[in-house]
Structure 1
Amino acid sequence: MPTTRRPASPGAAGHPVPHRVEILVYDGVTLLDVAGPAEVLKEANRFGADYRIVLVSPTGADVTSNLGIRIAVDAAVSGESAPATFLVAGADRYPRARVPQELADAARIPAAVAGRVASICTGAFVLAAAGLLEGKRATTHWQVTHELAVRCPTCRVEPDAIYVRNGTTYTSAGVTAGIDLALALVEEDHGPDVARDVARALVVYMQRAGGQSQFSAPLQGPPPRSPALRTITDRVTANPGGDHSLGALAKHLNVSTRQLTRLFRDELSTTPARYVENIRFDLARALLDQGHTATQAATLAGFPSYESMRRVFARKLSLSPAAYQRRFRNARRAGAG
């Protein structure tokens, strides 16, 4: 994602115009798809942003979320409001059922005048029904990526991405990925420092890379039971390139290296070094998938050297990083054909 600051448009008196964010809601909408990104944007306002969140529905009527909680709506969708950002939240029903024409139209109208358009999780199905994903790269929750590809044959669906940017169109994976996407939008608008401040304030991951696998190592098993060990795993996941030597991690917890090793073995059936390696391997794969060179991927993922990354790829995949990248590209071309 770009990290340059997006300049605000000057108002009539020379003051910046607030960044209007419209979130499309409707009956059955997933509440976290709405609340997660909204919370990120609201928190960003504490650090200098000026996001104005407006909830819109197809008719302007209040709606009921998937949890049965009533959502008060600010306005009906309109082609005159010209939001800087237009977000479409998802719903469990639309991978199973067709998106109503009224809802597709409600997405299409603001999107035509918005500065950028984004979907959270299965909100991608609404964008697809509105014709807003034609010929574009996109993602959604991994369980329904095949269905999205069927609904939108011209889309290049990326089943393993947390979020995807295609020009001014953004799509994201499962519900918590909406938080990652919102942090990415904040970073695009206000730079990485503000995004990091928001992530710290909300006690969430600093922001996973858009191409990072939905099946990242921390998601492949149960979280640690020990709060101390969870502190370490969160620390590694949030910054894979940091100093995560056994001594440094033990010092962070103020425990012995032997005790930390025992915690990893008892709860995660691995060693601290292997856990760090798995996190870096996962990130390196995502970076290669995004088109970074093997040397860049090794550096950004936190490997000490390209050679150390190559050895890990050879052991796990019996492939070099370059061979993995070629295979990924060939599979992507075949899927798009």
Structure 2
Amino acid sequence: MVSVGILLFPGFQMLSLSTSTVFEFANLEVEQPFYRVDLVSEEGGPVKSSMGFAIDTVPFGPYDTVLVVGDNEVLDATPGLLSYLQHAVVKSRRVTSACTGSFHLAAAGLLEGRKATTHWYHARAFRQAYPTVRLEEDRIFTVDGPLWTSAGMTACLDLALALVENDLGAEVSREVARKLVIYHRRAGGQSQFSALLDIDPKSDRVQTALVYARQHLQEELSVERLADVAHLSPRQFSRLFRSETGHTPAKAIERLRIEAARLMLESGDHPIDIIARDTGFGDPERMRRAFLRAFGQPPQMMRRALQLQA
């Protein structure tokens, strides 16, 4: 049995507790108590959340996996918490954090020289406080040896699903995500920022068309095809799309393709022509022009910069 200690402290953010449900459904999926999850704190007993109500906990103890939750204000860790983390990184298989929990890992000295991430809103403060940490502020989660860190808020679910995948395989993780009605586990290298969120469609019809587009980027995505997915005429769809998003359908599809191409650039050594093909640009020159419009530099230059940074 894999023991998981979710570490709480006064003022913790409640959303991090949703990670426990991922482990609960993993147990249901494999039809055995594979995970044992405890909510732990320095003293044990009730611990107040950022909402003001308390959650009961047990005192610090040994765990296979330790998960430090985040908070809304980047609260200072107590000496007892820091000492516990310093011992945990030696005794536990994995020490992980969600959201601003990475500040506590860094304060304990666990992240020095390692890569990590945190909530984008607190990234600048993190860099100033811990300049020796290789902060990757545009990541959903990072893994560096036994240390796993996730970005803010719902990214803790991606982290928990990745831990389940690490233990039980991709199929179990995928089934857990489906049962939790999560679209899919985002890859660790995926940006914290989403083109879909930025485009911000309002109606179900436009959202459905955009989700369809993101799932079929390799294919021809004409206005007629998207309008058919949205159950509208092409003229109605174009008018509704622009009024809701401020973009034409073609411009929005280009942004989705750029996002997918950038992720492929960052997450592997795929040839440029393969990236262009798999993201629907068709040819490298068309993708190059789109990158110049979006980033002011071609994909090859972005790749060289990433390699130098690595």
- Indicate how the Cα distance of structure 1 residues 306 and 189 shifts in structure 2: closer, same or farther if over 3 A, else same: farther
Please name the residue that 2:42 is paired with.
58
Counterpart Cα distance in 2 of 1:249 and 1:196: 27
Counterpart Cα distance in 2 of 1:302 and 1:206: 21
2:89 touches 2:146 (CA, 8 Å); kept in 1? no
Counterpart Cα distance in 1 of 2:251 and 2:152: 27
Higher relative contact order (CA closer than 8 Å, sequence separation 6+): 1
Please name the residue that 1:13 is paired with.
none
Look up the equivalent residue of 1:27 and give its one-letter code: P
Residue of 232, 238, 255 corresponding to 2:209: 232
Look up the equivalent residue of 1:277 and give its one-letter code: E
Q: Alignment length, in residue pairs?
A: 306
Residue of 6, 28, 33 corresponding to 1:46: 28
Please name the residue that 2:7 is paired with.
24
Look up the equivalent residue of 1:46 and give its one-letter code: L
- Indicate how the Cα distance of structure 1 residues 327 and 240 shifts in structure 2: closer, same or farther if over 3 A, else same: farther
The structural deviation recorded for 1:157 is 0.7
Please name the residue that 2:63 is paired with.
82
Please name the residue that 2:183 is paired with.
205
- Indicate how the Cα distance of structure 1 residues 148 and 233 shifts in structure 2: closer, same or farther if over 3 A, else same: same
Does 2:97 correspond to 1:110? no
Structure 1 unaligned residues grouped into runs of 5+: 1-17
Please name the residue that 1:271 is paired with.
248
1:128 touches 1:151 (CA, 8 Å); kept in 2? no
Please name the residue that 2:192 is paired with.
214
1:60 touches 1:76 (CA, 8 Å); kept in 2? yes
Counterpart Cα distance in 1 of 2:180 and 2:189: 22
Backbone CA RMSD of aligned residues: 2.5
Residue of 292, 314, 326 corresponding to 2:292: 314
Counterpart Cα distance in 2 of 1:276 and 1:168: 38
Three-state SS of the structure 1 residue aligned to 2:83 is: helix
Q: Where do residues 1-337 of structure 1 align in structure 2 (5 Å cutoff)? A: 18-35=1-18, 37-48=19-30, 50-73=34-57, 75-78=58-61, 81-83=62-64, 85-94=65-74, 97-221=75-199, 223-237=200-214, 239=215, 241=217, 243=219, 245-246=221-222, 247-295=224-272, 297-298=275-276, 301=279, 303-330=281-308, 332=309
Three-state SS of the structure 1 residue aligned to 2:45 is: coil
Q: Determine what percentage of the aligned residue pairs are the same residue.
A: 39
Please name the residue that 1:11 is paired with.
none
Residue-by-residue CA offset, 1:59-84 (whole Å, 9 max, x unaligned):
222211101121121x2112xx332x
Normalised by the size of structure 2, how large is the TM-score? 0.87
1:294 touches 1:306 (CA, 8 Å); kept in 2? no
Look up the equivalent residue of 1:44 and give its one-letter code: A
Counterpart Cα distance in 2 of 1:299 and 1:54: 47
Please name the residue that 1:14 is paired with.
none
Look up the equivalent residue of 1:82 and give its one-letter code: Y
Counterpart Cα distance in 2 of 1:252 and 1:265: 16
2:4 touches 2:36 (CA, 8 Å); kept in 1? yes
Counterpart Cα distance in 2 of 1:45 and 1:243: 38
- Indicate how the Cα distance of structure 1 residues 298 and 214 shifts in structure 2: closer, same or farther if over 3 A, else same: same
Residue-by-residue CA offset, 1:178-219 (whole Å, 9 max, x unaligned):
112222222223333333322222222312222222222123
Normalised by the size of structure 1, how large is the TM-score? 0.81
- Indicate how the Cα distance of structure 1 residues 43 and 235 shifts in structure 2: closer, same or farther if over 3 A, else same: farther
The structural deviation recorded for 1:86 is 1.5
1:240 touches 1:280 (CA, 8 Å); kept in 2? no
- Indicate how the Cα distance of structure 1 residues 33 and 305 shifts in structure 2: closer, same or farther if over 3 A, else same: farther
Three-state SS of the structure 1 residue aligned to 2:77 is: coil
Counterpart Cα distance in 1 of 2:35 and 2:220: 36
Three-state SS of the structure 2 residue aligned to 1:82 is: coil
1:135 touches 1:154 (CA, 8 Å); kept in 2? yes
Three-state SS of the structure 2 residue aligned to 1:210 is: coil
Counterpart Cα distance in 1 of 2:243 and 2:59: 54
The structural deviation recorded for 1:305 is 4.4
1:47 touches 1:194 (CA, 8 Å); kept in 2? yes
- Indicate how the Cα distance of structure 1 residues 197 and 275 shifts in structure 2: closer, same or farther if over 3 A, else same: farther
Counterpart Cα distance in 1 of 2:208 and 2:188: 23
2:5 touches 2:63 (CA, 8 Å); kept in 1? no
